Amino acid sequence: MTGGATAQPDGAAARTRVRRLPHKQVHDVAARDALLRDALVAHVGVGLGTQPLVLPLAVAPDRGDGEDGDGPFERLLLHGSTGSRLFRALAEGAPACVTVTALDGLVLARSRFESSMRYRCLVALGRCEVLTGRAAERGLEVLTTHLLPGRTEARPPSRKELAATRVLALPLSEWSLKVSDDGPEDDPADLDLPVWAGVVPLHHVWGEPEPAPDLPPGLPVPPYLATWPGGRT
Amino acid sequence: MTGGATAQPDGAAARTRVRRLPHKQVHDVAARDALLRDALVAHVGVGLGTQPLVLPLAVAPDRGDGEDGDGPFERLLLHGSTGSRLFRALAEGAPACVTVTALDGLVLARSRFESSMRYRCLVALGRCEVLTGRAAERGLEVLTTHLLPGRTEARPPSRKELAATRVLALPLSEWSLKVSDDGPEDDPADLDLPVWAGVVPLHHVWGEPEPAPDLPPGLPVPPYLATWPGGRT
Contacts of A214 (CB under 8 A, 6+ apart): B191
Q: What is the pLDDT of residue B65?
A: 63
Q: Which chain A residues touch B85 with a CB distance below 8 Å? A: 19
Contacts of A210 (CB under 8 A, 6+ apart): B183, B198, B199, B200, B201
Chain B residue whose CA is closest to A80: B20
Chain A / chain B CB contacts < 8 angstroms: 278
CA distance A77 to A147: 11
Provide the pairing of β-strand A96-108 with A116-126. Answer: antiparallel
Q: Which chain B residues touch A214 with a CB distance below 8 Å? A: 191
Smallest CA-to-CA distance from B54 within A22, A95, A12, A9 is with A95
The SS3 assignment for B147 reads: helix
Summarised one tens digit per residue, pLDDT across range A47-106 is: 999 999 999 999 999 997 666 677 899 999 999 988 888 999 999 999 999 999 999 999
Query: For A197, which of B45, B85, B215 is closest by C-beta distance?
Result: B215
Mutation for testing the B interface, residue in A21, A113, A141 having most B CBs under 10 Å: A113
Are B199 and B108 spatial neighbours (Cβ–Cβ below 8 Å)? yes
Query: For B197, which of A117, A194, A212 is closest by C-beta distance?
Result: A212
Summarised one tens digit per residue, pLDDT across range A106-125 is: 999 999 999 999 999 999 99
Per the CB < 8 Å rule, is B47 touching A52? yes
What is the least distance, in Å, from the CA of B97 to any CA of chain A? 6
Please determine, for residue A126, whether its predicted confidence score (pLDDT) is greater than 90: yes
- Give the C-alpha distances (Å, rounded to integers) separating B47 from A51, A90, B95, B111, B229: 8, 15, 8, 38, 35
Residue A144 pLDDT level (bands cut at 50, 70, 90): very high
- Tell me the whole-structure pTM to 2 decimals: 0.92
Q: Which chain A residues touch B216 with a CB distance below 8 Å? A: 192
Q: How many other C-beta atoms are found inside a 10 Å radius of the C-beta of residue A56?
A: 21
Query: What mean pLDDT comes out for the span A20-34?
Result: 82
CA angle A162, A167, A172 (to 5 degrees): 160
What is the least distance, in Å, from the CA of A157 to any CA of chain B? 6
Per the CB < 8 Å rule, is A196 touching B221? yes
Q: What is the 3-state secondary structure (H, E, C) of chain A?
A: CCCCCCCCCHHHHHHCCCCCCHHHEECCHHHHHHHHHHCCEEEEEEEECCEEEEEEEEEEEECCCCCCCCCCCCEEEEEEECCCHHHHHHHCCCCEEEEEEEEEEEEECCECCCCEEEEEEEEEEECCEEECHHHHHHHHHHHHHHHCCCCCCCECCCHHHHHCEEEEEEECCCEEEEEECCCCCCCHHHCCCCCCCEEEEEEEEECCCEECCCCCCCCCCCHHHHHCCCCCC
ipTM of the complex: 0.91
* Average per-residue pLDDT for chain A: 90
Per the CB < 8 Å rule, is A99 touching B50? no
Distant-in-sequence contacts of A73-76, Cβ < 8 A, 24+ apart: A73/A32, A73/A33, A73/A36, A73/A172, A74/A171, A74/A172, A75/A169, A75/A170, A75/A171, A75/A172, A76/A36, A76/A42, A76/A100, A76/A124, A76/A169, A76/A170, A76/A172
Q: What is the pLDDT of residue A10?
A: 41
CA distance A123 to A26: 12
Per the CB < 8 Å rule, is B196 touching A40? no
What is the least distance, in Å, from the CA of B71 to any CA of chain A? 27
Which pLDDT tens digits describe chain B residue by residue (233 residues)? Answer: 233 333 333 445 567 777 666 677 777 999 999 999 999 999 999 999 999 999 999 999 999 766 667 789 999 999 998 888 899 999 999 999 999 999 999 999 999 999 999 999 999 999 999 999 999 999 999 999 999 999 999 999 999 999 999 999 999 999 999 999 999 999 999 999 999 999 999 999 999 999 999 999 899 999 999 999 988 99
Query: For B194, which of A15, A206, A219 is closest by C-beta distance?
Result: A219
Position A172: which residue type? L
Per the CB < 8 Å rule, is B45 touching A56? no
Q: Which chain B residues touch A153 with a CB distance below 8 Å? A: 194-195
Query: What mean pLDDT comes out for the span A176-185?
Result: 95
Q: What is the pLDDT of residue B213?
A: 95
Per the CB < 8 Å rule, is B196 touching A121? no
Q: Which chain B residues touch A215 with a CB distance below 8 Å? A: 196-198
